[in-house]
Amino acid sequence: MTEPEARPTDLVLHPELLSGWGRTAPSESEVVSPRTTGEHVAALGMATDRGLVPRGLGRGYGDCAQNAGGLVLSGPANTGITDIDLGGARVTARAGTSLHELMERLVPLGLFVPVTPGTRMVTVGGAIAADIHGKNHHQAGSWCDHVESFRMLDGNGDVREISADGNPEAFWATAGGMGLTGVVLDATIRMKPVTSSRLLVDTDRANDLDDVMSLMIEGDDRYDYSVAWIDLVSSGSSMGRSVLDRGRFATAEEVSAAGHSAPLEFRTTQLPSPPDLVPSGLLNRASIRAFNELWFRKAPARRRDAIMSIEAFFHPLDMIAEWNRIYGKRGFLQWQCVVPDSESETIRRAVSKLSGAGISSFLAVLKRMGPSNQGHLSFPLEGWTLALDMPVSSGLESMLDELDEMVVTAGGRIYLAKDSRVRPELIPVMYPRLAQWQEIREKLDPDRRFRSDMSRRLGLI
Ligand SMILES: Cc1cc2nc3c(=O)[nH]c(=O)nc-3n(C[C@H](O)[C@H](O)[C@H](O)COP(=O)(O)OP(=O)(O)OC[C@H]3O[C@@H](n4cnc5c(N)ncnc54)[C@H](O)[C@@H]3O)c2cc1C
């Protein structure tokens, strides 16, 4: 597909109040939506001394894709699949293309994304910048392990073709580099061949945290995908009771045998969004306790080989657009940590602290992660990852600070794509290759044009 000729004068700047998915700490930036390579180059030239940052669909929870008083390059205008190599299971897509668009087009052709987060509404650029992981990290690694190459406009104004073999420094500094090494323009991704759009899922209800962790240690290797939902409100002998879902893609034959025609059909549902006027206290301990009780009870104690759609298994929350409004105007935080395998006790202590402190979370998940890749700021490391959403409330900050300390002591880290509040002095400890990343970043962007609210808050550059 040829790009329309760049006409930088077409680029329109408009002020916008932007926040992350948690809707905390909004800030105003000038936003521009470049489509072509030429327009991206022109947009780079429009940045003032407050710099610029790329933005995808704003599914980062905190302030990684906003830039108070500066420029934000909005990604979704730069969308579209430009090449499909069905035999080689590879696809090239512009960076603003969402994983939803990839699935709509490619699942019917027998290709699935190699990694998917808990929402399809993220872009290819955002997936690279956060080096996202999914329920299959223990088997397949993270997003950038499946990126063959990408084109990036760096801070020098150079458009570079970057691959892990050809330019390992730039590749791995950008994988998880939170948009601070340049703007990714497009990428070629190795996809996962599938013969159906359904999953075969086993479900186990676990009575407490020890129970679910044992099930995962003993059995996760047999499954491509695994995730445990944890009831963080329950305490005492049922602390950490969970529903564990594990599965793999079904074959076309298995799907037909279960009575489904059109094995590669990709369907999604859209329910109405919640209004923007939900009061902030609606999700409180009582309502979340009731929800969690229902969720736990409705799960089968033990079920094998249930057929589930991609949406039901991977992205149930996407059925409700803008579900983040249910937390009200005050917004919510996500806290996600990972600790090494040997430090599973830290997960137990964290769950005990959270449930003991009366933290209300209806979305807490536990996953196992496989080995890290070479991304300097990439989040995953071999062990356990715990993620939870919490409404903003008094006392939350100091408790999360304590949890961060526990994670650091255990040799773990928190996920930048979900963060909005970690203390900056912990970052070099959590990410020991930060200084090396900064050196590479400096070469790609010597004038420090790429900046964000997050880079300033955490002193990343
Ligand atoms: C409901 C929900 C569930 C989630 N589940 C998971 C999960 O299971 N696993 C996981 O890993 N993450 C998960 N996330 C986080 C999400 O995958 C990441 O934050 C992802 O980066 C968001 O992509 P985005 O396109 O919305 O980017 P944004 O949120 O807009 O930006 C994220 C980062 O990417 C950078 N960026 C965006 N586009 C480009 C580009 N073209 N070039 C360079 N940098 C760019 C931005 O500067 C920013 O630093 C979840 C988020 C939500 C809301």
Residue type, 109: L
**Any atom of ligand 1 within 6 Å of the Cβ of 387:** no
In the predicted model, what is the mean pLDDT of the chain?
94
Closest alpha carbon to 8 in 45, 42, 37: 42
Over range 34-58, report the average pLDDT: 97
Reply yes or no on whether the pLDDT at 55 is more than 50: yes
> Which residues are registered as beta bridge partners of 301?
none
pLDDT digit string, tens, across residues 240-251 = 999 999 999 999
User: Nearest residue CA, atom 53 of ligand 1?
Assistant: 59
Q: Is the CB of 184 under 6 A from ligand 1?
A: yes
Q: Rounded to the nearest whole angstrom, what is the distance from the C-alpha of residue 58 to the centroid of ligand 1?
A: 7
* Residue nearest (by alpha carbon) to ligand 1 atom 21: 126
**Atom number of ligand 1 nearest to Cα 181:** 43
- 418 C-alpha to center of ligand 1: Å? 9
Looking at residues 376-381, what average pLDDT do you find? 98
Mutate to test the pocket of ligand 1, among 19, 55, 189 (most ligand atoms within 8 A of CB): 55
Question: Please, how many CA atoms are within 13 Å of residue 233, restricted to the half-sphere of its CB?
Answer: 20
Please compute the mean of the pLDDT values over residues 351-359 and round it to a whole number.
Answer: 87
**Ligand 1 center from residue 179 Cα (angstroms):** 10
In the structure, what pLDDT confidence band is assigned to residue 98 with cuts at 50, 70 and 90? very high
Residue 124 CB neighbours (<10 A): 32
Comparing C-alpha atoms, which of 232, 247, 133 is closest to residue 199?
247
Cβ contacts of 151 within 8 Å, gap of 6 or more: 37, 159, 160, 161, 162, 184, 185, 186, 187
Nearest to 171 by CA among 188, 194, 157, 196: 188
Pocket test for ligand 1, best of 122, 314, 449 (most atoms within 8 A of CB): 122
CA-based nearest residue to 194, from 94, 122, 100, 266? 266
C-beta of 55 in contact with ligand 1 (< 6 A): yes
Q: Ligand 1 center to residue 218 CA distance, Å?
A: 31
Q: What is the pLDDT of residue 320?
A: 84
Quick: pLDDT tens for 276-313: 766 666 667 777 888 888 888 889 999 999 999 999 99
Span from the CA of 259 to the centroid of ligand 1 (angstroms): 37
Evaluate whether 159 touches 147 at the Cβ level (below 8 Å). no
Beta-strand pair 81-85/14-18: unpaired
Helix (H, G, I), strand (E, B) or coil at 384: strand
What is the Å distance from ligand 1's center to 56 Cα? 7
Shortest-distance atom of ligand 1 to CA 20: 29
Res. 149: pLDDT tops 50: yes
The CB of 183 under 6 Å from ligand 1? The reply is: yes
Contact 232, 351 (CB under 8 A): yes
Ligand 1, from 23, 29, 32, 123: best to mutate by most atoms within 8 Å of Cβ? Answer: 123
Ligand 1 in reach of 444 Cβ (< 6 A): no
User: Which three-class secondary structure string do you get for 66-79?
Assistant: CCCCCEEEECCCCC
Is the pLDDT assigned to residue 48 strictly greater than 80? yes
Return the closest-CA partner of residue 53 out of 79, 37, 32. 32
Choosing from 59, 98, 133, 335 the residue with most ligand 1 atoms within 8 A of its CB, the one to mutate for a pocket test is 59
The pTM assigned to this predicted structure is 0.96
Q: 370 Cβ partners below 8 Å, 6+ apart?
A: 137, 138, 139, 140, 141, 380, 382
pLDDT at residue 167 tops 90: yes
Residue 263 pLDDT > 90, yes or no?
yes
What phi-psi label fits residue 58: left (phi over 0), alpha (psi between -120 and 50 degrees) or beta?
Answer: left
pLDDT digits (tens, 9 = 90+) for 174-196: 999 999 999 999 999 999 999 99
Q: Which atom of ligand 1 is nearest to the CA of 98?
A: 25
Percent of the chain scored above 70 by pLDDT? 97
- The CA distance from 76 to 54, in Å, is 10
Residue with the two structure tokens 């086993």: 202
- Ligand 1 in reach of 22 Cβ (< 6 A): no
Q: How confident is the model at residue 366 (pLDDT cuts 50, 70, 90)?
A: very high
CA of 111 to the centre of ligand 1 (A): 22
- 198-241 pLDDT, tens digit per residue, is 999 999 999 999 999 999 999 999 999 999 999 998 888 999 99
Q: How far does residue 243's CA lie from ligand 1's centre (Å)?
A: 26
Whether 380 lines ligand 1, by a CB cut-off of 6 Å, is no
Residue 8 pLDDT exceeds 60: no
| pLDDT tens by residue, 100-125 | 999 999 999 999 999 999 999 999 99
Query: In the prediction, which pLDDT does 1 show?
Result: 47
Assess if CATH 3.40.50.1220 describes domain 198-247+279-309+318-423: no
Atom 49 of ligand 1 has which residue's CA nearest to it?
178
Give the chain's end-to-end CA distance (angstroms, integer).
36
**Cα 254 to ligand 1 centre (Å):** 34
Structure tokens that stand for 247 in this block: 């599965």
Q: How far is 112 from 110, CA to CA, in rounded Å?
A: 7
User: If you take atom 13 of ligand 1, which residue's CA is the nearest one?
Assistant: 117
